[in-house]
Chain A
Amino acid sequence: MNTKSPNPYTAFVKDFFTSYGCALVEQTPSYFTIQLTSEMDEEIMNRPFYWHYMKKMNREGDPMQLTFTDTAETHKQGIYLHAGTPKLHMIYNTAIEKARTARLYEVIYQTKHPRNRAMSPWLVINVLLHYRGKQAKDEPLSIGLNLIHGTMMLKMMDKIQNIDFETKVSDYTFPMTPVISLVNAYKRIERHIETYLSSLDNKWVSESLHHLEKEKQLLESFYQSEDIDLESFTKEREQIDNRYKPYVEIEVINGGLFYISQETSAEWMAQ
């Protein structure tokens, strides 16, 4: 590649490993090497037998190192970070798997005259909508719901991206007890998504149904002309349904209870 724009995946991959306690042992402009922890090795290196054996023998095991390269040009052996690389998908999935739930408190830095502050509970839900039919696509949504008065915020992650959060409550702040239950709040978010989906152009749905119908008819004609037997007819029939029947799956990526000061939320609620 001639373009020297930075590889967008590099920062993400480094962040991922260092966040989970893996050390960056070597770094050059073209590649970097990560020392995995035993836990990470077990999770992403796909060698269960090795770890099973180590545990059985009561030994510590020897976690591997991984080298990632930034460009295709380097002669260093390593995993080249490019869209679609299976290791990258594995890292995405691990990142999601390890961080599904949270309870976080906004960090309040105290001034000279500390005063008590109430922190509002929010349910933050990040979902992927999987549109499935003849073709497939995904859409990410991030929704927040205030558990005191029920205000809903869209693009929630954008709003809170730059706020500092901790797992401990800051001094002089007190978290309020939710008025709306989690289950109830989640139902409201779900209803919102349903309303949103019904407002969309449904052309892809009718196209999928049309294709489904055509495939069924074709299969029917094979069966009529005795090109296939009943068994494979039934099997194929199911296959066709699986592949073309349109639906939307709501998958929650992660979510949690976030305590945010009213001063902070007032800023983006006013917008």
Chain B
Amino acid sequence: MVEIQPDQSFIQTLSDHLNHPDRLTTWDGFKLAYQAAQYKTVPQFDGLLALEHLPHVDFMDHQVQAAETVIHQMNGRAILADEVGLGKTLEAGLILKEYMIRGRAKKILILTPASLVNQWIQELNEKFYIQAASPRKKQASWKDWDVTVTSIDMAKRENHREEILSIDYDLIIIDEAHKLKNHQTKNYQFVQSLKKTYCLLLTATPIQNTLSDLFNLVSILKPGYLGNLTDFKKKYKKNTEDEDNIQHIHSLVGHLMIRNRRKDTGLDSSKRKVVNELLSFTEEEMAMYKRLEELKSTHPSFTWLTLAKELCSSREACYMSLKQLQKNAPEGKAEIYDEYIEMIGQLPHHVKAKRMTELIENAGEKFIIFTEYRATQYYLQWYLQQHGITSVPFSGKFNKGKRDWMKQLFKNKAQVMIATEAGGEGINLQFCHHMINYDLPWNPMRLEQRIGRIHRFGQEHDVKIYNFAIKDTIEDHIMKMLYEKIELFKNAVGDLDHILEQIPGGSFEQQIQTILKQSDSQGEVNIKLNNLVSYVEHTVNERRESS
């Protein structure tokens, strides 16, 4: 028999009020109250009441399931870690709406990168009919607002901080939560001191580099759940020998994290085709590249690495760095760069730029181009203009208005958008289905984030991705070593973030940097990279066999 908690005061109240007729209500009032109680009733344990109130949104099965699991199994504290483009924001919105309908959430705080604030407000309004506020320059009334969207930087400012920390929030949602991986940062400590009942952490990459990233995210949700950090690290190291321990940790994290993969959703209606384009430098370009190698003997190898990578991207990027080197050079040493600068001025248009224009002209459709260098971005814009192709630049550093404007321009007017790395997160460009990775980042995960801009829900076409690399250069290595061998593009990203974090002695990205810095010859680089990749490959296979 279940425990029953009776209403102990009502009948006494009624008796009292009958002696004070002014406290009694009218028939209209009585009926209104009865109706109000019907409206606020939650009639069922399971399922999502929100769905019938939101007939205009097409939720995917995995999104509905994720929301149900978070509410009914995880009790509202969870990491939503779907792969990029599977609709984490929709899942979070659905959970939020459900809690609001069930009357469980009234005070809600949503923390996102500043660039995403508007997008959140718009989406909550259009898809969920939730009216959210965000603080303007001087105006902020945290106590009065029910649903607030803002950035952590804004929230932790002197004049807001105290008020926010004094509020008991029913639900806190943190977007791009992987930025909180370091528990020593002010942001992390701020988030941990917020008062909350329910909490959702959104990230596509719960483990960016090391397992302690995940530990820190879990600690926001359930402090102490995984013990303390030092013990945790020790344990996990021992784990490799002890299967049971691994199982234990996985099942613990499984109680808190939802991770849908593209391949699992079965909804991957649009496919991605990846073409690795290996281009050859012209003779002059190659000569320049070889000349740069001479710098290795007199400079830190990192300098050479930067210059070589830049030359593979554009003359302009390399030129900017050379100029910088010259400026910072000690007295009398500056002249050695003259020769390089002179030489770089003689180079023809970049082979990649030519190939890019060819692809765009042949396809006649919209393209998004990613580059790591601002100088390349400017150059490409100019180059495309010379060929009568319209383009807009994009960067995460643009303010909100400019970002929205550029996106609109790209959608309605321009054929090409040229984005720098910082533009990777938080813009959705489903209307475009061609992408050129003009130069390749070291970290394969970052490429995944780029691709997610266009290969996400709402994409109706197959997505074509071109990865550019120059033959017999550092890029050739990145491509052969990292991209082709690891079979990144097929399905391994999910597995990969587990694996990349387990490499002894630092993250994958750090490993590569170290190899390139510390090796004396190309041969040595090859061997070391090969070893690294074999290690990853081995682990991937092991995992596949065991699962």
Contact = CB atoms under 8 A, between A and B. Distances in A.
B131 A157 contact: no
Interface of B: 1-7, 10-11, 13-15, 17-18, 21, 23-46, 49-50, 53, 55-56, 72, 75, 97, 100-103, 106, 125-126, 129-131, 144, 146-147, 223-228, 231
Interface string A185-201: 01000100110011000
A143 B46 CA distance: 27
Nearest to A46: B144
Q: Which 5 A-B pairs have the closest CB atoms?
A: A84-B100, A227-B227, A99-B29, A99-B25, A99-B33
A166 B24 CA distance: 12
A102 B75 contact: no
Interface in A184-225: 186, 190, 193-194, 197-198, 202, 204-205, 222, 225
Contact of B39 (A12, A186, A232, A252): A12
Nearest to A94: B36
Given A137-B42, A182-B14, A104 B30 contact: yes
A186 B11 contact: yes
B101 A99 contact: no
Contacts of A113: none
Nearest to A205: B2
B143 to A, nearest CB: 8
A252 B50 CA distance: 26
Contacts of A255: 10-11, 14
Contacts of B25: 98-102, 254, 256
A246 B224 contact: no
A157 B28 contact: no
Contacts of B6: 190, 250
Nearest to B5: A249
Contacts of B4: 193-194, 197, 247-250
Given A82-B53, A100-B13, A190-B6, 9 more contacts: A16-B32, A72-B125, A104-B26, A136-B45, A186-B11, A202-B2, A228-B227, A249-B4, A250-B6
15 contacts: A79-B131, A83-B97, A84-B53, A86-B100, A92-B39, A95-B36, A103-B24, A137-B45, A138-B42, A139-B41, A139-B43, A194-B4, A228-B224, A243-B75, A246-B3
Contact of B37 (A2, A86, A126, A228): A126
Contacts of B39: 9, 12, 88, 92
A174 interface: no
B30 A99 contact: yes
A64 to B, nearest CB: 12
B196 to A, nearest CB: 14
A84 B39 CA distance: 10
B18 A101 contact: yes
A186 to B, nearest CB: 4
B5 A248 contact: yes
A247 to B, nearest CB: 4
Contact of B32 (A95, A228, A232): A95
Contacts of B49: 83
Nearest to B28: A19
Nearest to A228: B224
A82 B33 contact: no
Interface stretch (A24-32, A127-135, A263-271): A127-135
Given A72-B129, A84-B130, A166-B27, A142 B45 contact: no
Contact of B30 (A20, A139, A256): A256
A134 B39 CA distance: 23
Nearest to B131: A80
A83 B98 CA distance: 9
B36 A91 contact: yes
B43 A138 contact: yes
A3 interface: yes
A230 interface: no
B113 to A, nearest CB: 26
Contacts of B45: 131, 135-137, 204
Contacts of A167: 21, 24, 26-27
A19 to B, nearest CB: 5
B226 A227 contact: yes
B121 to A, nearest CB: 13
A243 B97 CA distance: 21
A193 B33 CA distance: 21
Given A101-B24, A243-B75, A227 B131 contact: no
A52 interface: no
Nearest to B39: A92
B6 to A, nearest CB: 5
A161 B30 CA distance: 10
A1 B6 CA distance: 43
A147 interface: no
B29 A19 contact: yes
Contacts of B228: 227
A2 B56 CA distance: 8
B27 A253 contact: no
A15 B32 contact: yes
A82 to B, nearest CB: 4
A137 B97 contact: no
